[in-house]
Amino acid sequence: MNEAKFIEELKKININLTNNQIAQFQTYANFLLEYNQKTNLTAIKTMEEVYLKHFYDSLTLVKIADISNGNLLDIGTGAGFPGLVLAIAFPKLKVTLLDSNNKKIKFLEECLKILKLNNVNIVYQRAEDYAHQNREKYDFITSRAVAELRILLELGLPCLKVNGSFLIMKANVSKEEQESSIETLKILNSTIDNILELDLPHNEGHRTLIKIIKKVKTNNLYPRTYDKIKKKPLK
């Protein structure tokens, strides 16, 4: 997907970028590809793939939620997906990018200096630790390609406000993964509001977007330590 096609496809989902935002995406793409030559951040190596599989893909979230306003935490953001892309497209959204990998955090800090965004905050921490200090704080939590559903729910839901939305992005979610998360959702007092299956333009890949709504404040017991979450996911 080249830049012109990116702009055109975004119009179809009601995102109309300004010239400044288009320039910010160019800066982000160039910096990512250049940085990626010396430090491995992403398997994606071409400009066309960056626009399709990172930028456009991140913005498909608008199909399941209005994320133009409020505050958002992106867990396991990596090189900024979807969080940094959302911050460029929605300047009124306050975005916190969280990752436990120092290499990714260094990239994000450098990238932010050149993008000159004032709605982004970067946190170098493990999600399970951050969650204990930042409870019920966010309108939205996002997470793309980070962990199995049951694990993600325990990591993310404590940080979400009651009635807030946890927006999970994955390539595929198996029936077993979905079914095994039902009990986890009950324990964490949350429900699935929407599951959207979609294909990227030109059949460039299948995607699953899951929207979860939190109904009641999360018990302070959660999240447990990561080894406990991993060894015995909530069910």
What minimum distance in Å lies between the beta carbon of 66 and ligand SAM? 21
Piece of 75-83, 156-164, 177-185, 196-204 that binds ligand SAM (CB under 6 A): 75-83
What minimum distance in Å lies between the beta carbon of 186 and ligand SAM? 23
Q: How many helices (H) and strands (E) does the chain have?
A: 10, 7
Piece of 89-97, 110-118, 143-151, 192-200 that binds ligand SAM (CB under 6 A): 143-151
Size of the residue set binding ligand SAM (CB under 6 A): 17
Q: DSSP state, 130? A: H
What minimum distance in Å lies between the beta carbon of 233 and ligand SAM? 13
Phi, psi angles (nearest 5°) of residue 32: -60, -50
Q: Which residue stretches of 116-157 are H helix?
A: 127-133, 149-156
Q: Between residues 104 and 211, which has the closer beta carbon with respect to ligand SAM?
A: 104
Q: Between residues 4 and 76, which has the closer beta carbon with respect to ligand SAM?
A: 76
Task: Please count the CA atoms within 13 angstroms of the CA of 156 that sit on its side-chain side.
Answer: 36
Residues 214-233 binding ligand SAM (CB under 6 A) are: 226
| Binding flag, residue 127, ligand SAM (CB under 6 A) | yes
Instruction: In whole angstroms, give the CA distance from residue 8 to residue 69.
Output: 23
Residue at 174: amino acid letter: S
Piece of 1-9, 27-35, 96-104, 190-198 that binds ligand SAM (CB under 6 A): 96-104
| Binding flag, residue 156, ligand SAM (CB under 6 A) | no
Instruction: In whole angstroms, give the CA distance from residue 87 to residue 6.
Output: 17
Distance of CA 166 to the CA centre of its chain: 9
Q: Which of 13, 12, 2 is nearest to 61 (CA)?
A: 13
Residues that bind ligand SAM (CB under 6 A): 76-78, 81, 98-101, 104, 126-128, 144-146, 155, 226
